[in-house]
Structure 1
Amino acid sequence: MTVKLTMDEKNDIQSIIQRFFEQERGEELGIIGTEQFFAMIDEEIGRYYYNKGLVDAKRLIEEKMMGVDEDISALEILPPRRPRIK
């Protein structure tokens, strides 16, 4: 599954990449180089972040469901306690 980014999001990411190369490496990366670098990150590395996000979301949902289960159990009406017959 691929993540669909808007054109504005892609442009923002490409600007970040260009700024990084200029500030950290002193290199001016053109549009084609920026697009190629972004495509490589997207295709080769992006899946790790995507999958980590899914794991985090699953854990959060499981925690919330555990809380819901506890809340529902707290609402349970138990039968009155009766003395044992001997």
Structure 2
Amino acid sequence: MTDIAFSKDEKALIVRKIQLYFSEELKQPIGQFDAQFLLDFVSRELGAYYYNRGLYDAQAALNAKLEDVQDAIYQLEQHTDFRR
């Protein structure tokens, strides 16, 4: 897996969200540098878990759609004397 990289704007938005969370929920101020450091740590150490969960969810959605396609093809099948 390649590293997940955020654009400068995305990273700035996430850092602001971390700062807001610390301020509102934990009543602790956190500077921009510390918030970026925390983001990098979480991304590096936990990101793969979220990434893999997204892949599993995408695979499940795709499998459900493929089952729908298989059902649609089966419904198109014409009756013959030939048995599978």
If the TM-score is normalised by the length of the shorter chain, which range does it land in? Answer: 0.7 to 0.9
Structure 1 counterpart of 2:39, one-letter code: F
Runs of at least 4 residues off by over 3 Å: none
Normalised TM-score (structure 1): 0.84
Once the two structures are superposed, residues 22-73 of structure 1 have per-residue CA deviations (whole angstroms, 9 ceiling, x without a partner) of: 1122221112101110011101111111111100100110010001001011
Which residues of structure 2 form unaligned runs of 5+? Answer: none
TM-score by length of 2: 0.86
Identity of aligned residues (%): 31
Three-state SS of the structure 1 residue aligned to 2:10 is: helix
Unaligned stretches of 5+ in structure 1?
81-86
- CA RMSD, 1 decimal: 1.3
Higher relative contact order (CA 8 A, sep 6+): 2
How many aligned positions are there? 80
1:46 maps to 47
**Bigger radius of gyration:** 1
